[in-house]
Amino acid sequence: MVVIHPKDKTTSMLSVLYEGLEHTYIDQSNSKKDICHILNHVPRHEHIYLLGHGSDKGLFSREDDNHNDFDRLMVYHPHAYYLRKHGCNIVAMWCNANLFAEKEKLYGLFTGMIVTEMSEALLYSINTSQEELDRENIKLVKRLRLLLDNNVPLPDIPSRILAMDDVHSQLTDFNYHNFYYL
């Protein structure tokens, strides 16, 4: 498995998805050329995890976790060729990863907007607290890990994870409805 997960305190909970598993880890210290090379050599049967913050343009990274601004797109259009070539074993969890996938004709499990910060909750008028954000996002990621560990087919994960929401708050309704298999 290849994991591309830029170091970021606001998405550190996503490390639950690959902790304890054998993987190649890529973060913001890797160049565009390094990432292309690694993606080009991932066996088709292995998953590629793309995790963090992003947009329909790709996965973001920043050098300094104390700043709010992102420095670069870490995975974006130049990487799409290698991701398409890889097939449908992609798990991408960042805001609007599904829009990036649709534009680049990628296949796998992608998220839409996922609220991970209070600023995002305010932007989407989701009534929540920092405590609920922390607690429920950890639960969400652990549930996704459980499904992946149990080899649930990626096309089945959106409906299976939606059924695991036991809170049905504005936050969980929003987040659990934003998993897509493309």
| Predicted confidence (pLDDT) per residue in 38-81, tens digit | 999 999 999 999 999 999 999 998 877 777 778 789 999 999 99
Say if residue 95 is exposed, middle or buried (CB neighbours under 10 Å; 0-12, 13-18, 19+): buried
3-state secondary structure at position 109: strand
pLDDT (average), residues 111-131: 95
In angstroms, the CA 116 to CA 133 distance is: 6
For 52-66, 118-132, 135-149, which range has the lowest pLDDT when averaged over its residues? Answer: 52-66
SS (H, E, C) 35-73: HHHHHHCCCCCCCEEEECCEECCEEEECCCCCCCCCCEE
pLDDT band at residue 23 under the 50/70/90 scheme? very high
| pLDDT at residue 100 greater than cutoff 90 | yes
Q: Rounded to two decimals, what is the model's pTM?
A: 0.94
Dump strand ranges (E) for the chain.
2-4, 24-26, 48-51, 54-55, 58-61, 72-75, 90-93, 108-111, 179-181
pLDDT of residue 64: 73
Strand order in the sheet with 54-55: 54-55, 58-61, 72-75
pLDDT band at residue 33 under the 50/70/90 scheme? very high
β-pairing verdict for 58-61 and 54-55: antiparallel
Average pLDDT of every residue of the chain: 94
Q: Are 39 and 19 in contact (CB under 8 A)?
A: no
3-state secondary structure at position 182: coil
CA 112 to chain centre: 9
In angstroms, the CA 18 to CA 28 distance is: 17
